[in-house]
């Protein structure tokens, strides 16, 4: 049984259809004024207003993020995930990769473990259902 009847609002005393949203109306007004606002900010920044200059620079030029060097780490494909995780931790301990790179790799390995687990569960359920259907 559904809680609400089709075609009927769950909140009949709510805002009537077609009512203008005040936030959207304000956004529309602001959008219309943006070119003038930006021109004023530029003029203020050129005139020495450091807050205006900072605002313009922060919005126009994205913040630089630290980028780590790419690393290659040979992990044995046929080894259990626990051994692969140990190899990653040894690489961190030996200084071949950074701790954050090691953490990202271990996190990826954990994600792979979850995918494998779900896949194996699906296979086992399918086999059980097939065996049950054969009875």
Which residues lie closer than 8 Å to 113 by C-beta, 6 or more apart? 81
Q: How far is CA 55 from CA 29, 74, 80, 112, in A?
A: 21, 46, 52, 43
Reported as a pLDDT band with limits 50, 70 and 90, residue 2 is: low
pLDDT value at 127 more than 90: yes
Q: What is the mean pLDDT of residues 88-98?
A: 93
Q: Tell me the percentage of the chain whose pLDDT exceeds 90.
A: 57
Instruction: Say what the pLDDT of residue 78 is.
Output: 86
Say how many C-beta atoms besides its own lie within 10 A of residue 42's C-beta.
13
d(CA 35, CA 106): 48
Instruction: Say what the pLDDT of residue 75 is.
Output: 84
pLDDT tens digits, 34-87 = 999 999 999 999 999 999 999 999 988 888 887 778 888 888 788 899 999 999
Buried/exposed code over 71-92 (b: 16+ C-beta within 10 A; e: otherwise): eeeeeeeeeeeeebbebbeebb
54's tokens: 């900072």
Does pTM surpass 0.85?
no
Give the start-end residues of each E strand in 17-132: none
Sign of CA dihedral 119, 124, 127, 133: negative
Q: What is the mean pLDDT of residues 17-44?
A: 88
Q: Is 23 helix (H, G, I), strand (E, B) or coil?
A: helix
> Is the pLDDT higher at 101 or at 2?
101
pLDDT value at 133 more than 70: yes
Instruction: Say what the pLDDT of residue 77 is.
Output: 82
């Amino acid at each position: 049984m559904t809680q609400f009847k089709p075609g009927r609002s769950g909140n009949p005393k709510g805002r009537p259809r077609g009512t203008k949203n005040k936030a959207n109306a304000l956004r529309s007004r602001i959008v219309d004024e943006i070119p003038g606002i930006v021109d004023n900010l530029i003029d203020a920044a050129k005139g020495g207003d450091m807050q205006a200059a900072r605002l313009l620079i922060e919005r126009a030029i994205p913040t630089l993020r630290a980028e780590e060097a790419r690393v290659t780490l040979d992990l044995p494909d046929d080894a259990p995930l626990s051994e692969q995780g140990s190899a990653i931790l040894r690489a961190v301990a030996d200084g071949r990769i950074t701790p954050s790179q090691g953490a990202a790799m271990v996190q990826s390995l954990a994600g792979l473990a979850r995918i494998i687990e779900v896949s194996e569960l699906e296979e086992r359920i399918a086999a059980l259902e097939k065996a049950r259907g054969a009875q």
